[in-house]
Structure formats: structure tokens, C-alpha cells
Structure 1
Amino acid sequence: MTDQTIPEPVAAFVEAVNRHDESAFLDAFTQDGAVDDWGRVFTGREQIKGWSDNEFIGAHGTLAVEEVEVAGGAVTVIGDWRSTHANGRSRFVFDVEGDLIKRMTIREG
């Protein structure tokens, strides 16, 4: 399925990111959640926060969603990422576990 409707919990996550809400961003992940940012993997709240402080929430990032695809437990969001750290079309793949995000993988869109 490809459309603009983002299923939960990814929709709430994108909203948290766009309003720079660090607590909601971190709370969106499972305890052992991970971020794979172009092959650099950050696991657990402390590592994700450290990465985000420099490259995501701390860089005032925003994501303008262009495409959404749902396949099984994975939600793919492609959009225009803008921040003080990096800019450009990016692909975010979210592995969802229950009502939390188990892993977010970021690649070129």
C-alpha cells in the first residue's frame, strides 16, 4: 500500500520529530530500540539520544512526508528531511513492535 496515511505509532513519531519533542521521540522506541543511520547503529535510549542531540532533534530536523508504504510490520516513509545537520530526500523504514518502534533505518530516498 502506498499513500499518505501514516499508521501509528509512526504518525505520532513523525509529529514528535517535527515539533522537536525529544521526550516523545525517545518514548516512541522500545527499550532495546535502535536507529540505523546509513549503517551507523545506535541502540537503546542513551545511544539514540546522543545521536539525536547532534543529528536529529538537536539539529531541529523536520520531515515533510511524500510517500508512505506499509508491508507487514514495516512502515516506510519517504520525505524531504531538513535540519542544521543534513538535508535531502530520505527513506525511513520503521520496524514496529506493538505500539512502539523497534528500529528506524535511514537511507537515501
Structure 2
Amino acid sequence: MTTLPPVVQQAIDAANAGDVDAFLALFADEGAVDDWGRVFRGHQAIRGWSDKEFIGVRVSLEVTGARRSGATTTVSALVGGDGFNGPSHFAFTVDGDRVTSMRITG
């Protein structure tokens, strides 16, 4: 399995810890979450999404694999919590020490 870039590991750790502030701090100011085609851009929009569908529903991410292509690391994970449960892929695009996008797919 590919070693995760520190910012990606920190994002997963923050989600698993239920720490939305730490999660948001990892995103660039104009960073975005693309949740199956629904795009949430900027910290306020990401927080609103996360409160309803991610950290706010006690998400848990069990990493099962990862692969890298350029600036993007795609993490395969088993998702648990009080929202969606099951396998998903999270494609994190990183610029330096910030996430510029996190795209969620099946």
C-alpha cells in the first residue's frame, strides 16, 4: 500500500476523531469536497456538508488501500458511522501541506 502524504493521513485522522475544525484546517481556502458530483467549495460549505453527512454523523474510515498519481492520492476505505456505510474511494489532491480537493466516489 502507498504511504499516505502527511496531510491526507491528518485528514483521515481528524475525520476519525470527529474533529471538524482540524479537518477544515487542512483544506486550502478555496478547497473543495466533491461528494458524488455535489461540490462544496470553501471552509463554510465544507463544514455544512460535513456536519450533515460526514463528521457530524460520526464517520469512521478504515483505510484498505491507497494509490498515488501525481498530486492526487486515492484512498480506499470502509466507511462506517451513522450515515453512508460501505466501501468508498477518497481522491485527495494536495498542494504543499493543504488539500485542494477531496473527491468521493464508489
- The verdict on a shared fold, with TM-score over 0.5 as the criterion, is yes
CA distance in 2, matches of 1:5, 1:88: 22
- Report the alpha carbon displacement of residue 91 of structure 1 after superposing the two structures with TM: 0.4
Per-residue Cα deviation, 1:3-60 (whole angstroms, up to 9, x for no partner): 1521211011111110011111010100000000000000001100000001001010
Q: Identify the match of residue 80 of structure 2 among 65, 79, 82.
A: 82
Where structure 1 has 5 or more consecutive residues not aligned to the other structure, the ranges are none
TM superposition outliers: structure 1 runs of 4+ over 6 Å: none
**Which residue, out of 31, 43, 46, partners 2:41?**
43
Is it true that 1:107 corresponds to 2:105 in the alignment?
A: yes
Q: Deviations over 1:69-88 (max 9, x none)?
A: 11110010001011211111
Instruction: Find the counterpart in structure 1 of residue 70 from structure 2.
Output: 72
Match of 2:59 in 1: 61
How many aligned positions are there? 106
| Structure (1 or 2) with the greater helix fraction | 2
1:28 to 14, 23, 26: 26
Q: Distance in 1 between matches of 2:28 and 2:18?
A: 19
CA–CA distance in structure 2, aligned partners of residues 4 and 75 of structure 1: 9
> How large is the Cα RMSD of the aligned pairs?
0.8
Alpha-carbon distance in structure 2 between the residues aligned to 1:36 and 1:78: 16
Alignment check: 8 A CA contact 2:2 2:68 kept: no
| Aligned sequence identity (%) | 42
